[in-house]
Structure 1
Amino acid sequence: MSEPEPEANSQERIAVVLPDGSELEVDADATVEDCAYEIGPGLGSDTVAGKLDGDLVAKEEPVYDSAELEIITDDGGEEYLRVMRHSASHCLAQAVERLYDAEEVKLAIGPPTDEGFYYDFDNLDVDEDDLEEIEAEMEEIVEADYEIEREDVSIEEAEERLEDEPYKLELLSEFADENDQVSFYRQGEWEDLCAGPHVDSTGEIGAVKLLEIAGAYWRGDEENEMQTRIYGTAFEDESDLEEFLERKREAEKRDHRRIGNDMNLFSIQDVTGPGLPLYHPPGKTVLKELEDFVEDLNQDAGYDYVETPHVFKTDLWHRSGHYENYADDMFIFDVGDDEFGLKPMNCPGHAAIFQDQSWSYRDLPIRYAENGKVYRKEQRGELSGLSRVWAFTIDDGHLFVRPDQIEQEVEEIMGMITDVLETFDLEYEMALATRPEKSVGSDEIWERAEDQLRSVLEDHGHEYEIEEGDGAFYGPKIDFAFEDAIGRSWDGPTVQLDFNMPERFDLSYVGEDNEEHRPVMIHRALYGSYERFFMMLIEHFEGKFPLWLAPEQVRVLPISDENLEYAREIAAEFDDFRVEVDDRDSTLERKIRAAHDDRVPYQIIVGDNEEEAGNISVRDRFEDQEYDVEIEAFKEHLEDERDEQRPQPDFLQD
């Protein structure tokens, strides 16, 4: 008997996976919005966008079989905010083309960001003084409440619409490789090539604010044209916007570049090159304290210090896998017939040191440490103070361990990291970063490595998030993120498991069975990098470092020139500390103000009364003061405060 013919109106069905793990069966050509209506008409009408397998997409986007689907509504969440900000970037471009010559100005890209949005323009001559006028035009567009309409068109029609927009045409050529159609979004008289998603109308965009103008290379490539980038932000209401602006003002007050200049900590000069910081004596003092702190932790944990050169033949980088995965970020040059590269990481050098000896299972774990300077060729437009540089130093550690030692060693490293973060009173979170798209090694090796780290986290009861695809190219890692004093999150310490480097360098040890075995390599950094951690500390403490870190710990202030000799005698009493005498011909009030502005933790004030009594007056950075202080009592307190690495001066805070 033959199979019955299918009905003419039958439709292939697929299933999508909802956040609760249940499956929703829909027609094969269903969109995100269709799925929302299948769940319920209320959800359907509230749908703004969706997430398919974690990617934010327009509500008109087709779903596919087994896709993980999340519906985004106007509930005020972070994803909705990104959609609204994307629409705000379109309002910005529309306002610019209204105010300036639309025939001359060329549009590039305008995505949302974590804190707002931007749009890049070519051939646009504006400065900060013009932002107010552009912002006012944006507000008129929002007030007009234009419907934001999506239209899908053929590649050929898109080319006609964009014939005068060279940057959009370049983007279109990339879309054309994967699509028969592309989408435009129109609001009023203005339209843009865009995949979305967007809110339904400009009136749904809340409070907007333009923030600054910067230069940006097209596609982030310094070989391309420099364009004008206008940054802005948008929130659902004015109160949220004002809260953000207040945080931004606080962040600007704490900007490490300004404080670094005020305190003479570091400089980055044109004559030395971009992203290459110079540390002045006060800045190096702080760095040396940070180095000593880590070296004490390493010594207690059984690390041996090694040193590797700044440059290696690229044979090493081919062997380690960096050349094929990291060459674009390396400084590479020829010397005679050989090719060399400045090291972007310290790990291959440490693997080469381990390889140079024979090892028994009894010798492991081997723990190497190095404050190693590395170099990475960031785009010039991405360089910013100490947060992103070409040359930086990692408090690197690499361990070579037996498989049965992994859990204990990783847990001990995590203990060292928490010691560091808790010393600075930083709240932190952990995340397991898994295999990225660009990586080396087999699926089996990666699964094994990820399972090992997951077991450490779970066996010891650590709470953690999963960061899909954020691992290093050679292995998964546990990342620590921490918050500073004004609630900003920073990436910092990390511990990484690596089964690939030992394979590439053919590392081995002789086991108890007298056979050769492959060690496991563990990468770890307790700060991440000195530069970024130093930057964070400057902003976290607003330059008001704890006593143990402060470049100048105590300043002695003689009330008059007659007390100068006694001030020098007092300074000699505190010669175990970083102490200075303010011997300028100035009033005491000005000396106090100067010490406060220089963020010195403590001031010792001496005048006729102190000199006659043989004691001192003490003033702290909180502007509290105590008279008739015994010299030995204050010295003992300073020793305790320094040695215990207390986060704030506390002599007068009881």
Structure 2
Amino acid sequence: MSEPDSQSQEQITVVLPDGSELEVASDATVEDCAYEIGPGLGRDTVAGKLDGELVAKEEPVYDGVELEIVTDGSEEYLEVMRHSAAHCLAQAVERHYDDVDLAIGPPTDEGFYYDFDNLDVDEEDLAALEDEIEAIIAEDYEIEREDVSIEEAEERLAGEPYKLELLEEFADENDTVTFYKQGEWEDLCAGPHVDSTGEIGVVELLEIAGAYWRGDEENTMQTRIYGTAFEDESDLEDFLERKQEAEKRDHRRIGNEMNLFSIQDVTGPGLPLYHPPGKTVLKELEDFVEDLNKDAGYDYVETPHVFKTDLWHRSGHYENYQDDMFIFDVGDDEFGLKPMNCPGHAAIFQDQSWSYRDLPIRYAENGKVYRKEQRGELSGLSRVWAFTIDDGHLFIRPDQIRQEVEEIMDMITDVLETFDLEYEMALATRPEKSVGSDEIWDRAEEQLENVLENRAHDYEVEEGDGAFYGPKIDFAFEDAIGRSWDGPTVQLDFNMPERFDLNYVGEDNEEHRPVMIHRALYGSYERFFMMLIEHYEGRFPLWLAPEQVRVLPISDDNLGYAHRVANEFDDFRVEVDGRDSTLERKIRAAHDDRVPYQIIVGDNEEDDGNISVRDRFEDQEYDVEIEDFKQHLEAEIEEQRTQPDFLQD
């Protein structure tokens, strides 16, 4: 490409990542800007980011835009390449199958997918499609972008119902749309893409699933093929190893093996049933948070599962969450299952008069909430209809913001460090769909930023990711295999006190608005429980384990002593394996059931009045005094150690 004419009469200014400004012609594209910076960068440009949004290099820039140039050395390059790999998948499918209707095929965090209708394919067919994709890559087709009028696009897409539906939406905002062509195949697409199929590295197709068109369960169920792409084989192999490890840790499989929970047809999707072992873990998590709340001066409250929708209109949830709420009529009144606990807590605060001396008021509730997620998005405990938040809401004076936010952050870091989790923080700012004035939002964001800066925390700014009522500090943590999870949060809210007309009497005897803080130390019990199952692969720390100790008699002759030993440990969750089976099988069963400790008793132990102890690492110690082991268990639980360590000293 030749350099653009820099003598254009009309000029606009774009802002580069280092804060410097670049003047370019008013009709300049991302690629033109790259050439203005330098010919080498222009030649290397693959795509761009305009105000954080990934776009094709042919996309026009606009005055004041924040511009980033994407090359093959950028983090975003993999996303661009995977988008092109999705096109190769669709091209391969249409080469192998007749009368297939194309839907959509975006990149994802781990790869890409493409949705098809009228496609009869199974896992055994993926190898042939992979071979075809490799052939398309080897052909090194140029990936050509073309601007097309709406009328011409309609002609090209005749017989493609899903593409025509997308085109109808594009036509409301544009006079033209873009197609990308590679060889004999083309697709309606905004891009961006790499320059040719030969630039795509290695591709592997992963699985087949069903997906509703546009994620709406009222629409057609389509066939979704998932795949991934990397620049080289070693990166692909690393990914496949991580994927295999993740599948081994899948909380749905482990949950079934350990009898933790089930999601049955009788309850409906996204409504988990917790079995006794699973509830045991949840109860320990609840007790841990309740102790933290008690130490921090929270009072527990309880709100109903359902309210009149008058409350949700008042809080702003109805206008912002209506599509995600379960709403129903009772007589002449409309009710809704609560999607959040905060309006109920605001109503409790509103029910009495407060002085500035009373604040802060801190409410806590393990509150069940309900979100009407699409059925196709529900998965185990990671996305459900009913979940429980370890919710806390504080009503404070403005001068108390810094201290209260800092104390909440201390509670959150206490939780994460207890589980030995690495974490990062982010400041999430005002989203497009929100309530409240610019002044209120600016003030709230500034307060949270000051807390982070004053404590010298490293953090990212996530533009537009705040709650609809206020900005927040989000914590993300890593599990044992390096996956990142969203969890705890602290949110500042100047809006709900306004909507509920909340007041306290100040030192000047005038009424003042309190500030409301929303906080959760886990995020939700369901998602945190799911993460812990996978993080520990079901091998919970002793204090969380559903069964902490299992006593294994070597023979039936030792069964009576085994029960007497178990009685010595009745302060713990202990079971006796009294089955008529060999010791080796009992040990293997306890290991498979992920029990932290096994106590083995035979004739020698019974004669000496002691025990042998075996841990989940398959280490064993003989001639252990019962009282010594009890004291160790008490200390391990009290200190909430992450791994059994009786035999690790």
Q: TM-score by structure 1 length?
A: 0.98
Residues 26-65 of structure 1 mapped to structure 2, 5 A cutoff: 26-65=24-63
Residue 74 of structure 1: aligned partner: 72
Q: Distance in 2 between matches of 1:342 and 1:643?
A: 38
Q: Distance in 2 between matches of 1:64 and 1:445?
A: 29
Deviations 1:303-335 (A, max 9, x none): 000000000000100111101111100000000
Q: How far is 1:30 from its partner? A: 1.3
Q: Distance in 2 between matches of 1:15 and 1:288?
A: 58
Q: 2:92 aligns with which of 77, 91, 95?
A: 95
Q: Distance in 2 between matches of 1:321 and 1:12?
A: 44
Residue 133 of structure 2: aligned partner: 138
Deviations 1:599-633 (A, max 9, x none): 00000000001111111000000000000111111
Deviations 1:119-138 (A, max 9, x none): 01111111111111111111
Superposition misfits of 4+ residues, deviation over 2 angstroms = none
Q: How far is 1:450 from its partner? A: 0.6
- Local SS of the residue matching 2:55: strand
- Local SS of the residue matching 1:605: strand
Q: 1:216 aligns with which of 200, 211, 216?
A: 211
Residue 3 of structure 1: aligned partner: none
Residue 302 of structure 2: aligned partner: 307
Residue 621 of structure 1: aligned partner: 616
Residues 441-456 of structure 1 mapped to structure 2, 5 A cutoff: 441-456=436-451
Q: Distance in 1 between matches of 2:580 and 2:315?
A: 61
- Local SS of the residue matching 1:140: helix
Q: Distance in 1 between matches of 2:546 and 2:529?
A: 13
Deviations 1:97-154 (A, max 9, x none): 00000xx111111000111000011111111111111111111111111111111111
- Local SS of the residue matching 2:297: coil
Q: Distance in 2 between matches of 1:501 and 1:119?
A: 42
- Local SS of the residue matching 1:215: strand
Residues 376-391 of structure 1 mapped to structure 2, 5 A cutoff: 376-391=371-386
What amino acid is aligned across from residue 581 of structure 1 in structure 2? V
Residue 584 of structure 2: aligned partner: 589
What amino acid is aligned across from residue 278 of structure 1 in structure 2? L
- 1:610 and 2:596 are equivalent in the alignment: no
Q: How far is 1:10 from its partner? A: 5.0
Q: How far is 1:11 from its partner? A: 2.8
- Local SS of the residue matching 1:492: strand
Residues 3-402 of structure 1 mapped to structure 2, 5 A cutoff: 10-75=8-73, 77-101=74-98, 104-402=99-397
What amino acid is aligned across from residue 67 of structure 2 in structure 1? L
- 1:523 and 2:518 are equivalent in the alignment: yes
Deviations 1:532-580 (A, max 9, x none): 0000000000000000000000000000000000000100000000000
Q: Distance in 2 between matches of 1:348 and 1:31?
A: 47
Residue 403 of structure 1: aligned partner: 398
- Local SS of the residue matching 2:227: strand
Q: Distance in 2 between matches of 1:71 and 1:440?
A: 34
What amino acid is aligned across from residue 278 of structure 2 in structure 1? G
Q: 2:509 aligns with which of 508, 514, 520?
A: 514
Residue 560 of structure 1: aligned partner: 555
**Runs of 5+ consecutive residues of structure 1 not aligned to the other structure:** 1-8
Q: Distance in 2 between matches of 1:221 and 1:616?
A: 59
- Local SS of the residue matching 1:213: strand
Q: Structure 1 residues 10, 546: CA separation in 2 closer, same or farther (over 3 Å shift)?
A: closer
Query: Size of the alignment, in residue pairs?
Result: 643
Q: Distance in 2 between matches of 1:367 and 1:324?
A: 27
- Local SS of the residue matching 1:591: helix
* Contact 2:621–2:647, Cα closer than 8 Å, also in 1: yes
Q: How far is 1:176 from its partner? A: 1.3
- Local SS of the residue matching 1:78: coil
Q: How far is 1:522 from its partner? A: 0.4
Q: 1:425 aligns with which of 420, 436, 449?
A: 420
Residue 6 of structure 1: aligned partner: none
What amino acid is aligned across from residue 41 of structure 1 in structure 2? P
